[in-house]
Chain A
Amino acid sequence: MTSHIVLDRVSKRFPPAKRGGDEIVAVDDVSLAIEQGEVFGIIGYSGAGKSTLVRLINQLEPVTSGAITVGDVTISELRGKRLREQQTRIGMIFQRFNLLTSRTVAGNVAYPLEVIGVGRAERTRRVEELLEFVGLEGRADAYPEQLSGGQQQRVGIARALAANPQILLADEATSALDPETTAEVLDLLARVNRQLGVTIVVITHEMEVITRIADRVAVMDAGRVVETGLTYDVFTRPQTATAKRFVQTVVRALPEGDELARLRATHDGRFFTISFTDEGVSEARVFSALAKAGVDFNLVHGGVDDIQGRVYGLLTIAVRGEADAVARALDGIGSGVTVEEQR
């Protein structure tokens, strides 16, 4: 199978902001292959180059070097009318929604249809269908400012899907939304992916967005992709410092430094960290095994996270008891867990 979007050693440099200044390297020699029908996340801090990277995919910005292929078209080579024709096949949504304030909801959704020359009757039909899909039936005649942020982003999604694109680019699409609305919009994006088979590229600095919908993730730092992998793998076994920092924002990390000292001051016993992935292990099984062995224990840190519907546990417990009893208790948890003592 050939990949849907291929970036081959792509770089983007901007001229210096002032004369004699340094050139800005926004994207530095990035190679990526995004598969048909997957949700691909790109995470990085602001300034890491992820927004520039996504704009290279639909060529809102030309590449400085390298090549970008979408389907069987090398989009980075195209200019003018031929480029615009390809752009109609890639939808995009934005952090600030970027809706036209001079148009109603229906007018906004119809915009890409006008661009590709769809007739009025067909436009009306399609707009209605799209608004139903995104859950905005009956709001066709509203103006953007009459809608909430979440509703505006739904309009943005409907607009992005209007011309039946095979790819949807989401640039920080939930960063301006509250957590609840974020979840709703992510659910909608997941539905776009599953029901319509649209390949989605999600740019974000919010780890929750990645854990919720991305099949795979690339971690960006200073214009480079430093780590790529299945979301679950990157989360449970981050390789780079940047990835680890992101993972810590959602997956509870091991206690360190002051925090560990504080925990030790308030809890007796030895500290063990039990980590497990979803191979049939649950928090309940860990606790019941410990209880059965008759040792006295306390959960002092950590918890269980849900990554892409899979379990990832990282529990730090304080255990009191004789060394033998403790060893037996920990053995009793069984396979599928990694136990490490925190000294």
Chain B
Amino acid sequence: MSEIVGVLPDLLEQTAIMLWMVALSLALGGIGGLVIGTGLTVTRRGGILQQPIVWWVLNVLVNTFRPIPFIILLAALQPVGRLVVGKGIGTEYAVFAIAIAATFGIARIVEQNLVALPAGVVEAARATGASPWRIIRTVIIPETLGPLVLGFTFAVIAIVDMSAVAGLVGGEGLGNWAVMYGYRQFDEVVTWSALIMVVIVVQLIQALGNWLARRIMRR
């Protein structure tokens, strides 16, 4: 019991860092994913902004990044990180790398949800003379918001997973703490408290996502 109390301050601090990393990379990757996923949807054949070349480029981009195991991407993006966030190590760089990975992962989730929207709804909006941009804002996104929230919830949990390997580049967070102080120092209390904390966080995020989606979809 006293051992648990002993690790508690670190546990909470690292949990907070993890949540911060997750929130920031979700925000960045979420916006990027929404833009690319929407782009994939509207530029595809039969889309409201049909653009075969743009679609092809986006599609290749997503297909290139998505299969790369995150631990390799984290190492490979270091030079880019030095340009963008000024360094190729640390928590900030880890957030940058997660955001990139999340962008392409979320892009596919967004695309999958948007293409499932019945074409008739978009057609009805087109018939009123609405512009493509207005249709994206007022029809495509609002009509798919419920499934999108569930998709983002799914993505958050993938991001929690990615945040755990931030330690590879000297980033902090719950995962790094569990590896450094739990696994490497044979401290099972640290490993297990980190694990339990991750499970609790994931449960809460999923519950929040489900609740939000249910409210949006009114069921």
Contacts and interface: CB of A to CB of B under 8 A. Distances in A.
A95 B137 CA distance: 25
A199 to B, nearest CB: 16
A230 interface: no
B128 A101 contact: no
Given A98-B118, A100-B143, A115 B128 contact: yes
Contacts of B123: 60, 94, 98
B9 interface: no
Interface string B118-156: 101101111111110010001100110100000000000
Contacts of B215: none
Contacts of B138: 111, 114
Given A98-B120, A98-B121, A100-B121, A92 B142 contact: no
A96 B120 contact: yes
B126 A101 contact: no
B218 interface: yes
A88 B129 contact: yes
Most A C-beta atoms less than 10 A away, residue of B120, B123, B129? B129
A85 interface: yes
Interface string A75-105: 0000001001111101110101011111100
Interface in A88-145: 88, 90-92, 94, 96, 98-103, 111-112, 114-116, 143, 145
Contacts of A156: 124
A117 to B, nearest CB: 11
Contacts of A111: 125, 128, 130, 138
A58 interface: yes
Given A94-B123, A96-B120, A98-B120, A84 B129 contact: yes
A114 B128 CA distance: 10
B124 A115 contact: no
Contacts of A87: 126-129
B45 to A, nearest CB: 10
Interface string B160-172: 0000000000000
A111 B123 CA distance: 13
A163 interface: yes
Contacts of A115: 128-130, 134
B184 to A, nearest CB: 50
Interface residues of B, number: 20
Contacts of A101: 121, 143
A98 B124 contact: yes
Contact of B127 (A90, A99, A114): A90
> Size range of the interface on A?
20 to 34
Given A100-B142, A102-B145, A114-B138, A84 B131 contact: yes
* Chain A interface mostly: mixed
B127 A58 contact: yes
A171 to B, nearest CB: 9
A58 B130 CA distance: 13
B129 A112 contact: yes
Nearest to B122: A98
Contacts of A81: 131
A163 B125 CA distance: 13
Contacts of B130: 84, 111, 115
Interface string B52-93: 000000000000000000000000000000000000000000
A94 B129 contact: no
Contacts of B118: 96, 98
B126 A60 contact: yes
Contacts of B120: 94, 96, 98
Contacts of A84: 129-131
A85 B124 contact: no
A81 B133 CA distance: 12
Nearest to A15: B45
A85 B129 contact: yes
Most A C-beta atoms less than 10 A away, residue of B118, B126, B127, B134? B127
B130 to A, nearest CB: 5
Contacts of B121: 98-101
Contacts of B129: 84-88, 112, 115-116, 163
Given A58-B127, A100-B143, A143-B218, 19 more contacts: A81-B131, A84-B129, A84-B131, A85-B129, A86-B129, A87-B126, A87-B127, A87-B128, A87-B129, A101-B121, A101-B143, A111-B128, A111-B130, A112-B128, A114-B138, A115-B130, A115-B134, A156-B124, A163-B128
Interface of A: 58, 60, 81, 84-88, 90-92, 94, 96, 98-103, 111-112, 114-116, 143, 145, 156, 159, 163, 169
In the A-B complex, the 10 residue pairs with the smallest Cβ-Cβ separation, listed nearest first, are A87-B129, A88-B129, A98-B124, A98-B120, A92-B127, A84-B129, A102-B142, A112-B128, A115-B130, A115-B128
